[in-house]
């Protein structure tokens, strides 16, 4: 799989020394692409997070480039999941959870009061580690759950269902059993149903928290393919403990270690020329 296809829609920025610097990936600037500047869909600035007294993130700063895939890797317990849960304010709903720093969506602080968290979560969708379709709803209702739960309905529900299921590469498999209960699908199908459910409300960002860790290799390959297909239209942030997966699906990779951002770079660069010795240790399998 060529990384170029992933990289294509993402022009390269000029680093700015003045800002509270989100580390900027290095790449060779090509004059042709400079006209279309790269855009950060989301940015975290100096983000720290706690569970009770335990500090799990230490001042992380990081951009998430619009309509590209960013992978977050690191050994378990490094704060990967906490980081993405801060992006849609799911972190704070847990008892004892706290955070400091800023998270920007389209340049505006998501805690800024202009955006209700329930609106935010509609714009920033999420897929979880374990497939969690709603067992009491049909496949169709699962796709529409984002609408149903919030008491709204799309203009053309059938079109929304078909579109979301097609984008989640599940349509062909389930189009004849949309009425079947959501719990009747296999693990890989259930996870794609969860992706379809997240896509059905047209999110701008899709967070994926180790979406393949509970799946077999074939289902995993299916989901990775799907991520490629989605990337041009949705900003994707994927947490994974699997470095090969990060290398396969992402344009950018952030390496988190013990709650700190060790390195953030274009994926190709990070895996071939890691700047930090800890990154090198990790990707060469010396720990983790």
Partner 1 sequence: MDAWLYPPPPQRTVSPRLRWRRLADRLFRGAVVASVVVVLAPLAAVLATVIAKGAPALDLAFLTHLPKPVGETGGGVGHAILGTLFLALGGLGIAVPVGVPAGVFLASDRMPRLAGVVRMCADVLAGVPSIVVGLFAYTLLVMPFRQFSALSGAFALAVIMLPTIVRTTEEVVRLVPPTLTEAALALGAPRWRAMLGVVLPSAGKGVAAGIIAAFSRGAGETAPLMFTAFGSQFLSWNLLQPIAALPLVLFNYAVSPYEDWHAQAWAAALVLVVLVLVANLVARYATARRSA
Partner 2 sequence: MGRRSSSSPSDAAFHATLVLAGLGVATVLAGVAWEVLDLAGPAMQKGGLSFLTGTTWDPVAGEFGALPALYGTLLTSAIALLVAVPLGIGSAVFLSEIASSRVAAVAGVLVDLLAAIPSVIYGLWGLFVLAPLLRQHVQPAVQSVLGDVPLFAGPPLGVGYGTAGLLLAIMVIPVVTSVSREVLKAVPDTQREAACALGATPFEVIRGTVFPYARSGLVGAVVLGLGRALGETMAVTMVIGNRYEISASLFAPGYTLAAVIANEFAEAFSPEYLSALGGLAVVLLGSTLVLNAAARLLVRGVRHGGG
CB of 62 to partner 1, least distance (A): 12
> Considering beta carbons, is residue 199 or 268 the nearer one to partner 2?
199
CB of 218 to partner 2, least distance (A): 23
Cα distances from 83 to residues 44, 45, 220, 247, in angstroms, run 9, 12, 23, 20
> Considering beta carbons, is residue 104 or 195 the nearer one to partner 2?
195
> Considering beta carbons, is residue 40 or 202 the nearer one to partner 1?
40
**Contacts to partner 2 by CB under 8 A:** 88, 90, 93, 95, 118-122, 125-126, 128, 130, 132-137, 145-146, 148-151, 183, 194, 197-198, 201
> Considering beta carbons, is residue 63 or 133 the nearer one to partner 2?
133
Q: Which residues contact 237 (CB under 8 A, 6 or more apart)?
A: 42, 64, 69, 70, 72, 84, 87, 205, 206, 207, 208
- Name the β-bridge partners of 112: none
**Buried residues in 143-173 as b, exposed as e (16+ CB within 10 A):** bbbbbeeeeeebeebeebbbbbbebbbbbeb
Helix (H, G, I), strand (E, B) or coil at 181: strand
Q: Taking each helix axis from N to C terminus, what angle separates 187-199 and 157-167, rounded to the nearest 10 degrees? A: 130
Residues 83/132, Cβ–Cβ less than 8 Å: no
Residues 197/142, Cβ–Cβ less than 8 Å: yes
> Considering beta carbons, is residue 20 or 149 the nearer one to partner 2?
149
| Helix and strand numbers, DSSP H then E, in the chain | 12, 10
CB of 204 to partner 1, least distance (A): 10
**Contacts to partner 1 by CB under 8 A:** 13-16, 19, 22, 24, 37-40, 43, 63, 104, 106-108, 114-116, 118-119, 150-152
CB of 19 to partner 2, least distance (A): 30
CB of 35 to partner 1, least distance (A): 12
Strands 40-51 and 54-65: antiparallel
Which of partner 2, partner 1, none does 201 bind, CB closer than 5 to 8 A by kind? partner 2
Structure tokens at 46: 């100096």
CB of 139 to partner 2, least distance (A): 15
Task: Give kind and range of the element (H or E) at residue 61.
Answer: strand 54-65
CB of 218 to partner 1, least distance (A): 36
Which of partner 1, partner 2, none does 184 bind, CB closer than 5 to 8 A by kind? none
Using CA atoms, how far apart are residues 69 and 47, in angstroms rounded to an integer? 20
> Considering beta carbons, is residue 115 or 214 the nearer one to partner 1?
115
Which of partner 2, partner 1, none does 16 bind, CB closer than 5 to 8 A by kind? partner 1
> Considering beta carbons, is residue 170 or 254 the nearer one to partner 1?
254
Which of partner 2, partner 1, none does 14 bind, CB closer than 5 to 8 A by kind? partner 1
């Amino acid at each position: 799989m060529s990384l170029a296809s992933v990289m294509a829609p993402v022009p390269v920025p000029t680093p700015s020394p003045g800002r509270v610097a989100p580390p900027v990936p290095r790449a060779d600037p090509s004059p042709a692409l400079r006209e279309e500047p790269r855009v950060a869909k989301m940015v975290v600035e100096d983000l720290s997070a706690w569970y009770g007294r335990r500090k799990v993130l230490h001042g992380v700063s990081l951009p998430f480039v619009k309509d590209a895939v960013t992978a977050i890797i690191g050994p378990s317990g490094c704060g990967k999941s906490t980081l993405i849960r801060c992006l849609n304010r799911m972190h704070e709903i847990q008892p004892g959870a706290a955070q400091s720093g800023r998270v920007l969506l389209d340049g505006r602080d998501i805690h800024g009061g202009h955006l209700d968290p329930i609106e935010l979560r509609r714009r920033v969708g999420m897929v979880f580690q374990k497939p969690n379709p709603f067992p009491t709803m049909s496949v169709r209702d699962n796709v529409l759950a984002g609408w149903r739960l919030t008491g709204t309905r799309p203009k053309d529900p059938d079109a929304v269902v078909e579109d979301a299921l097609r984008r989640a590469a599940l349509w062909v498999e389930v189009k004849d059993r949309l009425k079947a209960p959501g719990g009747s699908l296999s693990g890989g199908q259930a996870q794609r149903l969860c992706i379809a459910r997240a896509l059905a409300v047209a999110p701008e960002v899709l967070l994926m928290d180790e979406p393949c860790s509970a799946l077999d290799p074939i289902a995993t390959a299916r989901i990775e393919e799907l991520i490629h297909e989605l990337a041009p239209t949705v900003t994707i942030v994927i947490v994974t403990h699997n470095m090969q997966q990060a290398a396969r699906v992402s344009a950018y990779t952030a390496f988190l270690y013990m709650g700190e951002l060790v390195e953030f770079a274009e994926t190709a660069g990070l895996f071939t020329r890691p700047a930090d010795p800890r990154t090198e240790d990790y990707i060469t399998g010396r720990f983790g």
